[in-house]
Structure 1
Amino acid sequence: MTENPAHTALWPAPTASGTVDATVHVPGSKSVTNRALVLAALAAEPGWLRRPLRSRDTLLMAAALRSLGVGIEEGVGPDGTGEAWRVIPSGLHGPATVDVGNAGTVMRFLPPVATLADGPVRFDGDPRSYERPLHGVIDALRALGARIDDTSHGAPGSLPMTVHGAGALDGGVVEIDASSSSQFVSALLLSGPRFNQGVEVRHTGSNLPSMAHIRMTVDMLRTAGAQVDEPETGGEPNVWRVTPGALLGSDLTIEPDLSNAQPFLAAALVAGGTVTIPDWPLRTTQPGDKLRDIFTEMGGSCELTDQGLKFTGSGTIHGIDVDLGEVGELTPNIAAVAALADSPSTLRGVAHLRLHETDRLAALTKEINELGGDVTETADGLHIRPRRLHGGIFHTYDDHRMATSGAILGLAVEGVEVENVATTAKTLPDFPDMWTGMLKAPQV
């Protein structure tokens, strides 16, 4: 089989010739877009998603829902302005085949939806998707009454698999260990209103990463009219209950993806200067909002204005000791910035990153060290001692956040070549052009 040329292409990461001064319009949130698509598909009436993200992960989600019979029309909003998707729910049906790519939200959020379809739904994806944990969703759905075949073509508890939809699912109480991915909890909650008895999800493991994403799921369910009891509003610890009932069709404007704003904010830290991200929300459940605190501690300053978030760096970066357990997706870019700091950093609470698009802890350690860095894996994170770095190839392992980490390092280190920068299309289309545009500031 011939290797995809995009996977081996090398992108010379541009070095900053001075401070940055740019306004960067970041497209919509992948996490919000894919949750909104699922909720709109399960609603009792049509809905609108304004300013949705169009990336590999969200297009895979839309294609999967269409294969189940959901109408998703791309065009402009009901007021005739701005890009929008019209989602028209219908009776879910099989047979269907879902390509999950390497999207955790697709491979985990849609099996519960597939139990509501009338007919079999086969799930398959990229080779890496076979290695990512899915047992929490599979075991939970079986306990709730679903029939799933996950042994015919691979290892139990993983892809590829077939969900034999029966048009409905009893639901009820289920215990799961979601310590390897908070998406196991979100997956069950999103479809819970459509289960006959709703769902009560009880997390039995010790550590539950990325709680911010569960809060996002709960917030969006409530916006769609669902009744949700959760620990943070006085409920039982590690227990979430969703009452059965109809979901409302929404008219939702998708927020900018704050995690995808991270490399551009990091550029201000590394090169100095100011980067403005328009439409940064005053209130949000996105984990990326924590960047305001983390990057300020690392030497920057920020201000929320009418123009958006204005983030300014001096070009001097301080090391940090931080628990990233709730915001693990921010780790790769923080690690890149930390490798350029004036003191060591310790990133903790992210052992679960070994099960993401790639083993992010091993990948970051290897790639930064091969550029002359001094990174050590710990049981739950990384210890980073800044060293003078040199150029070389920065491999990405088909992981979009590895690619943006290489770009950040390239700002300060001449000769960094990022392998397969095209993988950023997973969540951030046009990243290379956005990156070089930022460096040709100011943008308008």
Structure 2
Amino acid sequence: MPEANSPEPYEPWPAPTAAGGVHLSVRLPGSKSMTARALVLSALGDTAGTVTRPLRARDTVLMAAGLAAMGTGVDTTATRQWQVRPAPLRGPAHVDVGLAGTIMRFLPAVAGLADGPVTFAGDPAAHARPLGPLLDGLRSLGLRIDAAPGGGLPITVSGRGRIAGGEVTVDASKSSQFVSGLLLAAPRFDRGILVRHVGPPLPSAPHVRMTVRMLRAAGATVDDVAAHTWRVEPGDLHGRDWPIEPDLSGALPFFAAALVTGGTVTLRDLPVESAQPVAQLIGLIERLGGQATAGPDGLTVRGTGTIHGIDADLRDVSELTPVLAALAALADAPSRLTGVAHIRGHETDRIAALAAELGGLGAEVTELPDGLQIDPKPLHGGPFRTYDDHRMAHAAAVLGLAVPGITLTDVACTSKTLPEFPALWSTMAADAGAGEARR
């Protein structure tokens, strides 16, 4: 795998076409969202902790490196289990966020607990990602933070070893990570925190629920009974082992492959009581024309090769939008995907990028203020720009299963969350129609 802070350039990648139904049984690497939260909570714990079956990818390696730069002992040499040893946080330190929203939004509060300045910078596209509401919230708690003229990266957090805590009002309509970034370090604040979200509806609410669930598992007292309000009491976070679930968002392209080709894909070892939005995903798959079954062995998706158009509000599961848009372009009726205005501020403006690339292959796509209207038309091959965005690459790969001649401008961006993606996808497509599940 290329170094986390300097991904190597790759040649354009021809998306493989499937000759029949794909049949795959796989345990994917761990959830990026869970791995990131587990690393932060372990670094702030009162005793050593471990992260079992973590995701090893660019985002999580850079998260570990950022915590290590501030003094945390993080050993990521083992494949199955990473060791985290809390230590007094200190500066000066530098954090490379890459293109990861989790790092740029989870670690500034941690940096406020460090003794000394901590600087944050990243890829050029990261400097355009929204950050201002989080920084304003931290400033209201007394932190000194210097930011670029636009209010985002690069930033310098002047840590003083403690944060008083208190009440924060934040508009998190552009990213639920603003809320999680305030909550994760809050038990270490002198007075804890009370966070109120104001403004348009909160996107990706299941990710905030994941944050609350993991805080409680680490020993924190969290009250989230009132709508759009979270109170975290001051107290110790306990070191523990964090078993990481396989990544549900990363599994969607493979589930989509089952829908497109009339195949079967099983994501092994996904717990029945998952912290991820399994029910929402199952509902979407069934509306698209597939069958999804969750059980002790994981989540299994079966497709028929026919995809139905849908009208869906994706606010809670916006990470799924690019692959769902690809499926919509292959559907038997128009689709309307809404509730995702905030994904214009993700790795790229995903709404504009999807409209451009799907349209370039022959689909009729209309940008909406908060999503896309997609009218299926006969598709043809051609280049598909990925914009250094792993989810765009996943969308292109799904289209390629059914449309010969699609070429991704870059598949290396999938190293952000699944470095194994190109090899795993190519093997799955090559074996399509063989009728034998891979182990």
Classify the TM-score, shorter chain.
Answer: over 0.9
3-state SS of paired residue (2:145): strand
Tell me by how many angstroms 1:236 deviates: 2.3
Could you tell me which residue of structure 2 aligns to residue 436 of structure 1? 426
Counterpart in the other structure of 1:163: 157
1:136 to 133, 136, 140: 133
Find the counterpart in structure 2 of residue 237 from structure 1.
227
Please state how far the C-alpha of 1:273 moved relative to its aligned partner.
1.3
The 5-angstrom pairing of residues 106-125 of structure 1 reads 106-125=103-122
State the shift of 1:287 in Å.
3.2
Deviation at 1:22, TM superposition (A): 1.3
| Kept after mapping to 2: 8 A contact 1:24/1:264 | no
Percent identical across equivalent pairs? 56
Distance 1:5 1:123 in 2: 19
Gaps of 5+ in 2: 1-5
Show the counterpart of 2:36: 34
Distance change >3 Å, CA 288–CA 136, structure 1 → 2: farther
Residues 1:16 and 2:22 are matched in the alignment: no
Matches within 5 A, 1:394-409: 394-409=384-399
After TM superposition, the structure 1 stretch with the greater mean CA deviation from structure 2, 289-298 or 382-391, is: 289-298
Q: CA deviation at 1:8?
A: 6.2
Provide Cα deviations, 1:10-31, integer angstroms capped at 9, x if missing partner.
1000001011111122110000
What is the CA–CA distance in structure 2 between the aligned matches of 1:51 and 1:289, rounded to whole Å?
23
Residue 248 of structure 2 aligns to a residue whose secondary structure is: coil
1:359-438 maps to which residues of 2 (within 5 A)?
359-438=349-428
Q: How does 1:325-336 map to 2 (within 5 A)?
A: 325-336=315-326
Residue 287 (structure 1) aligns with: 277
User: What does the per-residue CA deviation read over 1:54-108, in whole Å, with 9 as the maximum and x for residues that have no partner?
Assistant: 00000000000000010112355xxxxx710111000000000000001000000
Could you state the TM-score of these two structures normalised by the residue count of structure 2? 0.96
- Does residue 203 of structure 2 align to residue 198 of structure 1? no
Superposition deviation, residue 43 in structure 1: 0.5
SS of 1:428's equivalent?
coil
Instruction: Name the SS of the counterpart of 1:62 in structure 2.
Output: helix
Tell me how far apart the structure 2 counterparts of residues 292 and 204 of structure 1 sit (CA, whole Å): 30
Larger deviation, residues 337-346 vs 282-291 = 282-291
For 1:22 and 1:156, the matched residues in 2 are separated by 46
Give the secondary structure class of the aligned counterpart of 1:417. Answer: strand
Structure 1 residue 206: Cα displacement:
2.2
- Partner amino acid, structure 2, of 1:47: G
Q: Is 1:219 aligned to residue 213 of structure 2?
A: yes
1:43 to 45, 54, 76: 45
Distance in 2 separating the partners of 1:106 and 1:410: 32
Note the C-alpha offset of 1:443.
Answer: 0.8
Secondary structure of 2:134's aligned partner: helix
Tell me the equivalent position of 1:79.
none
With normalisation by structure 1, the TM-score equals 0.95
Question: In the aligned structure 2, how far is the partner of 1:281 from the partner of 1:291?
Answer: 14
Q: Which runs of 5+ in 1 are unaligned?
A: 77-81
What code does the residue aligned with 1:405 have?
A: A
Tell me the equivalent position of 1:184: 178
Deviation per CA, 1:397-441: give whole Å up to 9, x if none. 000000000000000000000111000000111101110122225
Aligned CA distance change for structure 1 residues 6 and 338 (closer, same or farther; 3 Å): farther
- Secondary structure in structure 1 of the residue aligned to 2:67: helix
* Residue 266 of structure 1, aligned match among 256, 266, 269: 256
The C-alpha deviation readout for 1:128-177, integer Å capped at 9, x for no partner, is: 11101110111011100101111xxx324200010000000101001111
Contact 1:221 1:228 in 2 (8 A): yes
Q: Find the aligned partners of 1:121 and 1:6 in 2 and give their Cα distance.
A: 27
SS of 1:260's partner is helix
Contact 1:7-1:419 within 8 A present in 2 as well:
no
Work out whether residues 437 and 443 of structure 1, in 8 Å CA contact, stay in contact via their aligned partners in 2.
no
How big is the shift at 1:293?
A: 1.2
Q: Verify the 8 A CA contact 1:75 1:85 in the aligned structure 2.
A: yes
